[in-house]
Structure 1
């Protein structure tokens, strides 16, 4: 048993020392370099910055609305209206006056009404204008329709028409004038819009005589 053990040890020793060392399988051709070359900077992986949340612009603030108090009539400033401007200038003209004269119905004699009254033919009316020095007068007769038209005195214009009036003078059959519409005290003139030649036309309210109901 001992001789066999000795022989095994000798064979094993001869194998270990007789075998030359094996060269490396793939020897490196160049020395190992550092991971990062000194000529090229190391490349770092940059993560894109996280996008910031987009906020919509805040709506513009609405300016406060203040309630404006309307001006009261006491706070309104009244500017005087000029009376001599070209726009409201009224040319000076002569005047003419028209109207109608009636005779009242017997049923309403003495009453202030023209119900059932009829136009009076041949009545005489007078246009009187009070001047500063004297009174200017023009007269006219009514036609079958009781209508009359008086062209005013030559010295009376529309600027002085407010100083004129019309009164009843007389009527056929001795009829007496009534003060209906101012037939006795004087009926005022009212301007008309329609023209009458070179005159400014005026009218008076209907006038009336009292009837003679004894016939």
Structure 2
């Protein structure tokens, strides 16, 4: 309890003691027996009401009261009860909050010591007989499945290389024919209706350090064979070209573009056995083809 609580409690106790003392003195003063009591009033019958007179206040003498003779007890007139003074209710002293008593911890009743159960002596465990580990049955080795032999893809048959015909060194002979186109097909590269030209001039030009030129004329069948100079061999024929130059027939004298007769035709070696070479004047010539060449005719309009 704090200082303020203690002060309130002391004040309440002092107030209660003072109130009790004052109330006791007042009661003693009222209940004290007077020395001379007034005679009772006569009782009258009739319709008069009895009005009790209030008691006169008693003034005590300064001298001590003389003892009265002993008389039979006379009932004193009924007095109105004196109400005690009403005081405000005294506040009950504030008691400090009482803490609940702390119960001592109750220990559970001690159990009698439990005796451990007595077991018969344990026998040593019987070890099972130890057998050698059984070997797993050996399986015969499984052979992998035999795959059928895979044959490699068939290679295409190797063809022997085709080599150009081997030429022995020889001289060069160029052959061909010359025609005159018909007026009907003059504007086409066609020899339909064409006629051979006799006496047409053909020229061979081979390029080297200096141009080598050879010329010849056609026969009545329009055929020609032009022999190159002996300085030109079959090893250097690729530098030679054959040209159609002119015709003796003035009605068919315009060189056409057929097979390059106007710009120079390339020499093509003859590969037919027995015809690829020719012997002239005991000299062997390799035969090359050009043409056929043609002239465009002068046709009537």
Deviations 1:5-59 (A, max 9, x none): xxxxxxxxxxxxxxxxxxxxxxxxxxxxxxxxxxxxxxxxxxxxxxxxxxxxxxx
Distance 1:191 1:70, change over 3 A: same
What's the counterpart of residue 174 of structure 2?
97
Larger radius of gyration: 2
Deviations 1:63-89 (A, max 9, x none): 9522213459xxx9xxxx8x9xxxx75
Unmatched tracts of structure 1, length 5 or more: 1-61
What's the counterpart of residue 167 of structure 1?
243
- What's the Cα RMSD here? 2.7
Distance 1:104 1:89, change over 3 A: closer
SS at match of 1:160: helix
What's the counterpart of residue 9 of structure 1?
none
Q: Distance in 2 between matches of 1:125 and 1:214?
A: 27
What's the counterpart of residue 268 of structure 2?
190
What's the counterpart of residue 18 of structure 1?
none
Residue number among 187, 193, 204 corresponding to 2:290 in the alignment: 204
Deviations 1:100-151 (A, max 9, x none): 00000011123211110010011000011111x1111111100110000011
Q: Distance in 2 between matches of 1:176 and 1:109?
A: 11
What's the counterpart of residue 141 of structure 1?
217
1:20-35 correspondence to structure 2 within 5 Å = none
Using the size of structure 1 for normalisation, the TM-score is: 0.60
SS at match of 2:242: strand
Give the structure, 1 or 2, with the largest relative contact order (CA under 8 Å, sep 6 or more).
1
What's the counterpart of residue 121 of structure 1?
198
Using the size of structure 2 for normalisation, the TM-score is: 0.43
Q: Distance in 2 between matches of 1:213 and 1:89?
A: 47
What's the counterpart of residue 153 of structure 2?
69
Unmatched tracts of structure 2, length 5 or more: 1-145
The alignment status of 1:180 with 2:258, answered yes or no, reads yes
What's the counterpart of residue 68 of structure 2?
none
Q: Distance in 2 between matches of 1:196 and 1:170?
A: 27
Q: How many residues align?
A: 142
What's the counterpart of residue 42 of structure 1?
none
Structure 1 residue 214: deviation in Å? 3.6
